Amino acid sequence: MINKQQNNSLLDDVFQLLPSPISVTKVNDSTCVAANHAFLKYFGLRRKDVIGKKSFELGMISPETKLPRLNKLRKTDDVQDTTVKLRSRKNSALDMPFKTKRIKVNGLSYYLSLGNDVSVMEYIRKARQFDTFVQSLDTVKETGIIFVSDYDKKKPSVAYANEEAQSVLQIHAVKKILKMLHGHDSIFLKTPSFIYFVRNIPCQDDAPLKILFLRRLMDATTCMTMRLKEFNLTSRERQVALMAAYGHSNSVIAENLGISNFTVKDHLKRIFKIIGVHKRNELFLKLMTLG
């Protein structure tokens, strides 16, 4: 069984080993009665410099900064996460979030103050921001978003994919998508339910992640219309190319567009040359580039 003396010793050991800066001051005169190793190390002080001294005597906090905090503590027993401007022994300025609580020990009142290292707080803040960012991406509808790590290696992995992208990845592995995108800014990708316009977002060569956007499209016509805009074709040639891709004959195209068969033939000759195909069925496959 641990006696009272051993228990107090154990508590003191724990107090000293805690990683956050902690101090205990008297309520009546703000004299420091205890400070752990983290507190002393953070502010570059020795124990004999701190115990029995007031914080503003040490130059750590000005009376102007301390008074508003004391006023808050008089109204309530604790103050949560208020940032206090402090100074270290080397006179460097520090902004540290502190939690302070009024406690009673053996009938005497003290302030127990626990500080959070700003670097830790900044990490937490950024983590929360990233979590909010990811939650926002999760709510995006009809657009898939994929972050790919190790994209330049044999086994690229998905660092993040929202719900829409996950449904696509069940059909097409990310390695396959990257292979199809190689040498292209964009491709079309087919799933049993939808067709997606997949675009590789340009990043610096040393970027840790590759970002892919997958825009859900309604039909093949939308896909081919978008792809035709990538080629140096006139608006009339794009109309002819779209109808030809669906397999319509020259005469049907001519009748629908109000032009002659010879004009359709001339248009197709130029279209096939620019796009790099020889037949109508090749035109459809080229424009869709489906995987």
Residues across the chain: 291
92: pLDDT confidence band, cut at 50, 70 and 90? low
Average pLDDT, the chain: 79
Q: At a CB cut-off of 8 Å and minimum separation 6, what does 13 contact?
A: none
Residue 10 predicted with pLDDT over 80: no
Asked whether residue 284 is domain-assigned, the answer is yes
Same domain, 186 and 212: yes
pLDDT digits (tens, 9 = 90+) for 232-252: 999 999 999 999 988 889 999
Q: Is 269 exposed, middle or buried (0-12, 13-18, 19+ CB in 10 A)?
A: exposed
Final residue in a domain of this structure, among 218, 247, 267: 218
pLDDT digits (tens, 9 = 90+) for 187-199: 888 887 788 889 8
Asked whether residue 25 is domain-assigned, the answer is yes
pLDDT score of 273: 93
* Cα–Cα distance for residue pair 88/175, rounded to 1 Å: 52
The arithmetic mean of pLDDT across residues 194-208, rounded, is 79
pLDDT score of 1: 46
Same domain, 79 and 29: yes
Same domain, 226 and 214: no
Residue 144 sits in a domain whose CATH number is 3.30.450.20
Q: At a CB cut-off of 8 Å and minimum separation 6, what does 128 contact?
A: none
pLDDT score of 151: 82
Q: Alpha carbon of 95 to those of 78, 116, 117: distances in Å?
A: 19, 10, 9
CA dihedral sign of residues 217, 219, 223, 225: negative
Q: Alpha carbon of 70 to those of 81, 101, 146, 183, 238: distances in Å?
A: 14, 11, 50, 65, 75
The residue segments making up the domain with residue 77 are 14-116
Asked whether residue 46 is domain-assigned, the answer is yes
Residue 123 predicted with pLDDT over 60: no
pLDDT score of 118: 54
Residue 208 predicted with pLDDT over 90: no
Residue 259 predicted with pLDDT over 80: yes
Q: At a CB cut-off of 8 Å and minimum separation 6, what does 229 contact?
A: 238
Same domain, 102 and 18: yes
Give the total number of structural domains in the chain: 3
Same domain, 32 and 102: yes
Residue 72 predicted with pLDDT over 80: no
pLDDT score of 113: 82
The arithmetic mean of pLDDT across residues 253-266, rounded, is 94
Of all residues in the chain, the percent with pLDDT exceeding 90 is: 23
pLDDT digits (tens, 9 = 90+) for 148-185: 988 888 888 998 999 999 999 999 999 999 998 888 88
pLDDT score of 9: 65
Angle at 181 between CA 167 and CA 247, to 5 degrees: 85
Final residue in a domain of this structure, among 67, 100, 116: 116
Final residue in a domain of this structure, among 191, 218, 245: 218
pLDDT score of 291: 42
The arithmetic mean of pLDDT across residues 268-285, rounded, is 89
